[in-house]
Structure 1
Amino acid sequence: MKKSQDYHHSFQNLQENGMSFEQVLERIVTFMNLNPSGHYRLMVGTDSQVHKSQTIFITGIVIQNKGNGVWACIRKVNVPRRMTHLHERISLELSLTEEVVSLFTEERKSELINIVLPYLYQGATFTMEGHIDIGAGKRNKTREFVKEMVTRIESMGVEPKIKPNAFVASSYANRYTK
Protein backbone atom coordinates (compact mmCIF):
# COMPACT_ATOMS: atom_id res chain seq x y z
CA MET A 1 0.00 0.00 0.00
CA LYS A 2 1.21 3.54 -0.75
CA LYS A 3 2.36 5.76 2.08
CA SER A 4 -0.41 8.12 3.17
CA GLN A 5 1.67 11.13 1.99
CA ASP A 6 1.10 9.93 -1.57
CA TYR A 7 -2.65 10.09 -1.08
CA HIS A 8 -2.62 13.83 -0.56
CA HIS A 9 -1.89 14.45 -4.24
CA SER A 10 -4.54 12.27 -5.75
CA PHE A 11 -7.75 14.27 -5.59
CA GLN A 12 -9.61 14.61 -8.86
CA ASN A 13 -12.90 15.50 -10.46
CA LEU A 14 -14.21 15.77 -14.01
CA GLN A 15 -12.34 19.07 -14.53
CA GLU A 16 -9.02 18.42 -12.81
CA ASN A 17 -6.64 15.58 -11.92
CA GLY A 18 -3.83 15.35 -9.39
CA MET A 19 -5.06 18.07 -7.04
CA SER A 20 -3.34 18.39 -3.68
CA PHE A 21 -5.49 18.85 -0.60
CA GLU A 22 -4.39 22.52 -0.55
CA GLN A 23 -5.84 22.92 -4.06
CA VAL A 24 -9.05 21.17 -2.97
CA LEU A 25 -9.33 23.61 -0.07
CA GLU A 26 -8.77 26.57 -2.46
CA ARG A 27 -11.61 25.30 -4.70
CA ILE A 28 -13.93 25.02 -1.67
CA VAL A 29 -13.04 28.54 -0.49
CA THR A 30 -13.60 29.92 -4.01
CA PHE A 31 -16.96 28.09 -4.26
CA MET A 32 -18.11 29.43 -0.87
CA ASN A 33 -16.96 32.98 -1.66
CA LEU A 34 -19.27 33.02 -4.71
CA ASN A 35 -22.19 33.19 -2.27
CA PRO A 36 -20.99 33.74 1.31
CA SER A 37 -24.57 33.93 2.64
CA GLY A 38 -25.33 30.37 1.49
CA HIS A 39 -26.30 27.20 3.33
CA TYR A 40 -23.17 25.07 3.17
CA ARG A 41 -22.73 21.38 3.93
CA LEU A 42 -19.19 20.03 3.71
CA MET A 43 -19.50 16.27 3.37
CA VAL A 44 -16.87 13.54 3.28
CA GLY A 45 -17.60 9.87 2.66
CA THR A 46 -15.99 6.71 1.31
CA ASP A 47 -17.31 3.71 -0.58
CA SER A 48 -15.56 0.56 -1.78
CA GLN A 49 -16.00 -2.13 -4.37
CA VAL A 50 -14.37 -5.54 -4.39
CA HIS A 51 -13.04 -6.48 -7.83
CA LYS A 52 -11.32 -9.64 -9.10
CA SER A 53 -7.83 -8.89 -7.73
CA GLN A 54 -8.25 -5.62 -5.83
CA THR A 55 -10.57 -3.50 -3.73
CA ILE A 56 -11.12 0.09 -4.81
CA PHE A 57 -11.90 2.78 -2.25
CA ILE A 58 -13.24 6.16 -3.32
CA THR A 59 -13.45 9.04 -0.85
CA GLY A 60 -15.65 11.92 -1.94
CA ILE A 61 -15.45 15.51 -0.72
CA VAL A 62 -18.58 17.51 -1.53
CA ILE A 63 -19.32 21.13 -0.65
CA GLN A 64 -23.00 21.84 -1.24
CA ASN A 65 -24.71 25.20 -1.15
CA LYS A 66 -28.32 24.03 -0.68
CA GLY A 67 -30.27 24.89 -3.80
CA ASN A 68 -27.25 26.61 -5.36
CA GLY A 69 -24.94 23.92 -6.63
CA VAL A 70 -22.03 21.82 -5.47
CA TRP A 71 -18.33 21.40 -5.95
CA ALA A 72 -16.92 17.93 -5.48
CA CYS A 73 -13.87 15.76 -5.93
CA ILE A 74 -12.71 12.24 -5.15
CA ARG A 75 -9.62 10.42 -3.96
CA LYS A 76 -9.04 6.86 -5.11
CA VAL A 77 -7.17 4.26 -3.05
CA ASN A 78 -6.43 0.80 -4.41
CA VAL A 79 -5.88 -2.16 -2.10
CA PRO A 80 -4.26 -4.94 -4.19
CA ARG A 81 -6.42 -7.77 -2.78
CA ARG A 82 -10.04 -8.80 -2.46
CA MET A 83 -11.31 -7.49 0.88
CA THR A 84 -14.25 -9.82 1.43
CA HIS A 85 -14.72 -9.28 5.17
CA LEU A 86 -17.42 -6.64 5.52
CA HIS A 87 -16.22 -5.22 8.86
CA GLU A 88 -12.65 -4.82 7.60
CA ARG A 89 -13.90 -3.03 4.47
CA ILE A 90 -16.35 -0.74 6.32
CA SER A 91 -13.65 0.05 8.87
CA LEU A 92 -11.12 0.99 6.17
CA GLU A 93 -13.78 3.08 4.40
CA LEU A 94 -14.26 4.99 7.62
CA SER A 95 -10.49 5.30 8.24
CA LEU A 96 -10.08 6.87 4.80
CA THR A 97 -12.97 9.25 5.53
CA GLU A 98 -11.37 10.09 8.91
CA GLU A 99 -8.04 10.73 7.20
CA VAL A 100 -9.60 13.27 4.83
CA VAL A 101 -11.72 14.83 7.61
CA SER A 102 -8.54 15.26 9.67
CA LEU A 103 -7.02 17.33 6.84
CA PHE A 104 -9.72 19.89 7.66
CA THR A 105 -7.81 21.13 10.71
CA GLU A 106 -9.38 23.59 13.16
CA GLU A 107 -7.61 26.44 11.31
CA ARG A 108 -8.94 25.27 7.95
CA LYS A 109 -12.48 24.81 9.31
CA SER A 110 -12.27 28.30 10.83
CA GLU A 111 -11.26 29.68 7.44
CA LEU A 112 -14.44 28.17 5.94
CA ILE A 113 -16.66 29.26 8.83
CA ASN A 114 -15.26 32.80 8.60
CA ILE A 115 -16.62 33.05 5.04
CA VAL A 116 -20.24 32.64 6.25
CA LEU A 117 -19.76 34.31 9.67
CA PRO A 118 -20.64 37.87 8.56
CA TYR A 119 -23.85 36.51 7.00
CA LEU A 120 -25.20 34.42 9.90
CA TYR A 121 -28.02 36.89 10.56
CA GLN A 122 -29.09 36.55 6.91
CA GLY A 123 -29.34 32.81 7.52
CA ALA A 124 -25.93 31.61 6.30
CA THR A 125 -24.95 28.18 7.65
CA PHE A 126 -21.98 25.81 7.60
CA THR A 127 -21.99 22.20 8.75
CA MET A 128 -19.54 19.36 8.28
CA GLU A 129 -20.74 15.78 7.86
CA GLY A 130 -19.11 12.37 7.70
CA HIS A 131 -21.09 10.08 5.40
CA ILE A 132 -20.84 6.41 6.33
CA ASP A 133 -21.90 3.77 3.80
CA ILE A 134 -23.89 1.73 6.32
CA GLY A 135 -27.54 1.41 7.27
CA ALA A 136 -29.53 0.58 10.37
CA GLY A 137 -32.35 -1.26 8.59
CA LYS A 138 -33.29 -4.79 9.71
CA ARG A 139 -32.19 -6.30 6.40
CA ASN A 140 -28.95 -4.32 6.22
CA LYS A 141 -25.82 -6.43 6.76
CA THR A 142 -23.97 -3.38 8.11
CA ARG A 143 -26.45 -2.48 10.87
CA GLU A 144 -24.30 -4.13 13.60
CA PHE A 145 -21.48 -1.64 12.82
CA VAL A 146 -23.60 1.52 13.02
CA LYS A 147 -22.88 2.42 16.66
CA GLU A 148 -19.11 1.86 16.32
CA MET A 149 -18.78 3.83 13.07
CA VAL A 150 -21.09 6.69 14.16
CA THR A 151 -19.10 7.05 17.39
CA ARG A 152 -15.83 7.24 15.44
CA ILE A 153 -17.13 10.08 13.24
CA GLU A 154 -18.70 11.94 16.18
CA SER A 155 -15.40 11.79 18.04
CA MET A 156 -13.89 13.89 15.23
CA GLY A 157 -16.44 16.64 15.78
CA VAL A 158 -18.26 15.86 12.56
CA GLU A 159 -21.96 15.11 12.15
CA PRO A 160 -22.43 11.45 11.14
CA LYS A 161 -24.87 10.48 8.38
CA ILE A 162 -25.81 6.89 7.56
CA LYS A 163 -27.99 5.49 4.78
CA PRO A 164 -30.26 6.79 3.33
CA ASN A 165 -28.68 10.17 4.21
CA ALA A 166 -25.08 9.23 3.46
CA PHE A 167 -25.29 10.04 -0.25
CA VAL A 168 -21.65 11.14 -0.62
CA ALA A 169 -20.58 7.59 0.27
CA SER A 170 -23.51 5.62 -1.15
CA SER A 171 -24.08 7.58 -4.40
CA TYR A 172 -21.28 9.99 -5.32
CA ALA A 173 -18.26 7.86 -4.28
CA ASN A 174 -20.03 4.63 -5.27
CA ARG A 175 -20.19 5.78 -8.91
CA TYR A 176 -16.39 5.78 -9.12
CA THR A 177 -15.75 2.39 -7.48
CA LYS A 178 -17.05 0.34 -10.41
Structure 2
Amino acid sequence: MEQDSIRNFRFQNLQEKNMSFEDVFKHIVHFMKLNPRGNYRLMVGTDSQVHRTYTIFITGIVIQQESHGVWACIRKVIVPRKMLHLHERISKELTLTEEIVSMFTEHKKNQLIHIILPYVYQGATFSMEGHIDIGAGNRNKTRAFVKEMVARMESMGVEPKIKPNAFVASSYANRYTK
Protein backbone atom coordinates (compact mmCIF):
# COMPACT_ATOMS: atom_id res chain seq x y z
CA MET A 1 0.00 0.00 0.00
CA GLU A 2 1.38 3.37 -0.95
CA GLN A 3 2.25 5.87 1.76
CA ASP A 4 -0.11 8.51 0.30
CA SER A 5 -3.17 6.29 0.55
CA ILE A 6 -2.29 5.44 4.16
CA ARG A 7 -2.24 9.16 4.97
CA ASN A 8 -5.76 9.48 3.60
CA PHE A 9 -7.24 6.85 5.90
CA ARG A 10 -9.30 8.43 8.71
CA PHE A 11 -10.28 6.85 12.00
CA GLN A 12 -12.51 7.92 14.86
CA ASN A 13 -13.82 6.93 18.27
CA LEU A 14 -16.05 8.56 20.85
CA GLN A 15 -13.25 10.88 22.04
CA GLU A 16 -11.55 11.79 18.76
CA LYS A 17 -12.49 12.25 15.11
CA ASN A 18 -10.37 12.46 11.98
CA MET A 19 -7.36 10.51 13.32
CA SER A 20 -4.63 9.42 10.92
CA PHE A 21 -3.17 5.92 11.16
CA GLU A 22 -0.12 7.47 12.84
CA ASP A 23 -2.44 8.96 15.50
CA VAL A 24 -4.03 5.54 16.01
CA PHE A 25 -0.62 3.91 16.32
CA LYS A 26 0.49 6.50 18.89
CA HIS A 27 -2.64 5.77 20.95
CA ILE A 28 -1.87 2.04 20.86
CA VAL A 29 1.75 2.64 21.94
CA HIS A 30 0.60 4.93 24.75
CA PHE A 31 -2.01 2.38 25.90
CA MET A 32 0.59 -0.42 26.01
CA LYS A 33 3.21 1.73 27.77
CA LEU A 34 0.76 2.35 30.64
CA ASN A 35 1.43 -1.25 31.69
CA PRO A 36 4.21 -2.94 29.70
CA ARG A 37 3.80 -6.09 31.81
CA GLY A 38 0.31 -6.74 30.36
CA ASN A 39 -1.16 -9.32 28.03
CA TYR A 40 -2.10 -7.50 24.83
CA ARG A 41 -4.21 -8.50 21.85
CA LEU A 42 -4.26 -6.19 18.82
CA MET A 43 -7.42 -7.05 16.88
CA VAL A 44 -8.72 -5.81 13.53
CA GLY A 45 -12.07 -6.74 12.02
CA THR A 46 -14.72 -5.43 9.64
CA ASP A 47 -18.48 -5.75 9.44
CA SER A 48 -20.94 -4.45 6.86
CA GLN A 49 -24.60 -3.59 6.55
CA VAL A 50 -26.61 -3.19 3.34
CA HIS A 51 -28.86 -0.12 3.41
CA ARG A 52 -31.42 1.09 0.86
CA THR A 53 -28.96 2.82 -1.51
CA TYR A 54 -25.53 1.95 -0.14
CA THR A 55 -23.47 -0.55 1.85
CA ILE A 56 -21.53 0.60 4.89
CA PHE A 57 -18.33 -1.07 6.07
CA ILE A 58 -16.88 -0.45 9.53
CA THR A 59 -13.39 -1.64 10.42
CA GLY A 60 -12.55 -1.76 14.09
CA ILE A 61 -9.06 -1.60 15.58
CA VAL A 62 -8.95 -2.73 19.21
CA ILE A 63 -5.97 -3.04 21.54
CA GLN A 64 -6.99 -5.01 24.60
CA GLN A 65 -5.05 -5.54 27.77
CA GLU A 66 -6.73 -8.68 29.04
CA SER A 67 -8.83 -7.97 32.13
CA HIS A 68 -7.70 -4.31 32.14
CA GLY A 69 -9.61 -2.55 29.36
CA VAL A 70 -9.26 -1.51 25.75
CA TRP A 71 -8.56 1.38 23.43
CA ALA A 72 -10.45 1.23 20.15
CA CYS A 73 -11.37 3.14 17.02
CA ILE A 74 -13.16 2.61 13.72
CA ARG A 75 -12.81 3.43 10.06
CA LYS A 76 -15.94 3.87 7.93
CA VAL A 77 -16.17 3.11 4.21
CA ILE A 78 -19.37 3.57 2.22
CA VAL A 79 -19.93 1.83 -1.12
CA PRO A 80 -22.68 3.71 -3.01
CA ARG A 81 -24.70 0.60 -3.94
CA LYS A 82 -26.45 -2.33 -2.34
CA MET A 83 -23.95 -5.20 -2.18
CA LEU A 84 -26.35 -8.13 -2.08
CA HIS A 85 -23.97 -10.99 -2.94
CA LEU A 86 -22.70 -12.45 0.33
CA HIS A 87 -19.31 -13.61 -1.01
CA GLU A 88 -18.59 -10.18 -2.49
CA ARG A 89 -19.47 -8.45 0.80
CA ILE A 90 -17.48 -10.87 2.99
CA SER A 91 -14.50 -10.56 0.64
CA LYS A 92 -14.70 -6.74 0.76
CA GLU A 93 -14.88 -6.87 4.58
CA LEU A 94 -11.72 -8.96 4.65
CA THR A 95 -9.97 -6.71 2.10
CA LEU A 96 -10.63 -3.69 4.34
CA THR A 97 -9.31 -5.63 7.35
CA GLU A 98 -6.22 -6.64 5.35
CA GLU A 99 -5.56 -3.00 4.41
CA ILE A 100 -5.43 -2.02 8.08
CA VAL A 101 -3.41 -5.09 9.08
CA SER A 102 -0.86 -4.24 6.36
CA MET A 103 -0.37 -0.79 7.92
CA PHE A 104 1.07 -2.58 10.95
CA THR A 105 4.37 -3.19 9.18
CA GLU A 106 7.06 -5.41 10.69
CA HIS A 107 8.70 -2.23 12.01
CA LYS A 108 5.49 -1.12 13.75
CA LYS A 109 4.80 -4.61 15.16
CA ASN A 110 8.36 -4.72 16.47
CA GLN A 111 7.84 -1.35 18.18
CA LEU A 112 4.85 -2.85 20.01
CA ILE A 113 6.70 -6.05 20.88
CA HIS A 114 9.64 -4.04 22.26
CA ILE A 115 7.28 -2.43 24.78
CA ILE A 116 6.53 -5.78 26.43
CA LEU A 117 9.82 -7.55 25.62
CA PRO A 118 11.59 -6.72 28.93
CA TYR A 119 8.66 -8.33 30.77
CA VAL A 120 8.09 -11.48 28.69
CA TYR A 121 9.59 -13.71 31.40
CA GLN A 122 7.14 -12.19 33.88
CA GLY A 123 4.24 -13.17 31.61
CA ALA A 124 3.81 -10.16 29.27
CA THR A 125 2.40 -11.12 25.86
CA PHE A 126 1.46 -9.54 22.53
CA SER A 127 -0.57 -11.08 19.71
CA MET A 128 -2.28 -9.78 16.59
CA GLU A 129 -5.61 -11.14 15.37
CA GLY A 130 -7.77 -10.66 12.29
CA HIS A 131 -11.45 -10.97 13.18
CA ILE A 132 -13.57 -12.28 10.31
CA ASP A 133 -17.36 -11.93 10.48
CA ILE A 134 -18.07 -15.51 9.36
CA GLY A 135 -18.99 -18.72 11.12
CA ALA A 136 -18.48 -22.43 10.54
CA GLY A 137 -21.79 -23.56 12.03
CA ASN A 138 -24.16 -25.63 9.88
CA ARG A 139 -26.82 -22.90 9.90
CA ASN A 140 -24.36 -20.12 9.02
CA LYS A 141 -24.59 -18.93 5.38
CA THR A 142 -20.92 -17.86 5.48
CA ARG A 143 -19.50 -21.30 6.35
CA ALA A 144 -18.62 -21.95 2.68
CA PHE A 145 -16.10 -19.08 2.82
CA VAL A 146 -14.30 -20.01 6.05
CA LYS A 147 -11.30 -21.80 4.46
CA GLU A 148 -10.70 -19.06 1.90
CA MET A 149 -10.97 -16.15 4.34
CA VAL A 150 -8.95 -17.85 7.11
CA ALA A 151 -6.19 -18.64 4.59
CA ARG A 152 -6.07 -14.97 3.54
CA MET A 153 -5.57 -13.85 7.17
CA GLU A 154 -2.97 -16.55 7.84
CA SER A 155 -1.03 -15.52 4.72
CA MET A 156 -0.54 -12.10 6.36
CA GLY A 157 0.93 -13.67 9.50
CA VAL A 158 -2.09 -12.75 11.60
CA GLU A 159 -4.10 -15.16 13.74
CA PRO A 160 -7.57 -15.48 12.19
CA LYS A 161 -10.64 -15.57 14.45
CA ILE A 162 -14.13 -16.48 13.27
CA LYS A 163 -17.48 -16.38 15.09
CA PRO A 164 -18.02 -16.68 18.00
CA ASN A 165 -14.45 -15.42 18.68
CA ALA A 166 -14.47 -12.60 16.09
CA PHE A 167 -16.06 -10.02 18.38
CA VAL A 168 -14.29 -6.99 16.90
CA ALA A 169 -16.13 -7.65 13.62
CA SER A 170 -19.35 -9.20 14.91
CA SER A 171 -19.93 -6.91 17.91
CA TYR A 172 -17.75 -3.77 18.00
CA ALA A 173 -17.78 -2.89 14.27
CA ASN A 174 -21.35 -4.16 13.88
CA ARG A 175 -22.60 -1.55 16.35
CA TYR A 176 -21.57 1.25 13.93
CA THR A 177 -23.02 -0.24 10.71
CA LYS A 178 -26.68 0.48 11.58
TM-score normalised over the length of structure 1: 0.96
Give 2:133's aligned residue: 133
Unaligned runs of 5+ in 2: none
SS at match of 1:117: helix
Q: Deviations over 1:4-42 (max 9, x none)?
A: 827743100000000000000000000000000000000
Give 2:99's aligned residue: 99
SS at match of 1:81: coil
1:10-89 matches, within 5 Å, as 10-89=10-89
Q: Take 1:170 and 1:107, find their aligned partners in 2: how far apart are those partners?
A: 29
1:108-119 matches, within 5 Å, as 108-119=108-119
Q: Residues 6 and 55 of structure 1: is their aligned pair in 2 closer, same or farther, counting only changes over 3 Å?
A: farther
Q: Take 1:58 and 1:73, find their aligned partners in 2: how far apart are those partners?
A: 10
Q: Deviations over 1:38-71 (max 9, x none)?
A: 0000000000000000000000000000001100
SS at match of 1:142: helix
Q: Take 2:7 and 2:61, find their aligned partners in 1: how far apart are those partners?
A: 14
AA aligned to 1:80 is P
Q: Deviations over 1:147-176 (max 9, x none)?
A: 000000000000000000000000000000
Q: Residues 8 and 128 of structure 1: is their aligned pair in 2 closer, same or farther, counting only changes over 3 Å?
A: farther
Does 6-15 or 141-150 show the bigger shift?
Answer: 6-15
AA aligned to 2:114 is N
Q: Residues 66 and 6 of structure 1: is their aligned pair in 2 closer, same or farther, counting only changes over 3 Å?
A: closer
Give 2:160's aligned residue: 160
Contact 1:38–1:65 at 8 Å: present in 2 too?
yes
Q: Take 1:87 and 1:112, find their aligned partners in 2: how far apart are those partners?
A: 34
Q: Take 2:6 and 2:109, find their aligned partners in 1: how far apart are those partners?
A: 23
Q: Take 1:12 and 1:147, find their aligned partners in 2: how far apart are those partners?
A: 31
SS at match of 2:141: coil
Q: Take 1:136 and 1:7, find their aligned partners in 2: how far apart are those partners?
A: 36
1:135-154 matches, within 5 Å, as 135-154=135-154
TM-score normalised over the length of structure 2: 0.96
Aligned residues: 175
RMSD (CA atoms): 1.1
Q: Residues 124 and 8 of structure 1: is their aligned pair in 2 closer, same or farther, counting only changes over 3 Å?
A: farther
Q: Take 2:108 and 2:28, find their aligned partners in 1: how far apart are those partners?
A: 11
Contact 1:7–1:75 at 8 Å: present in 2 too?
no
SS at match of 2:127: strand
Q: Residues 6 and 29 of structure 1: is their aligned pair in 2 closer, same or farther, counting only changes over 3 Å?
A: closer
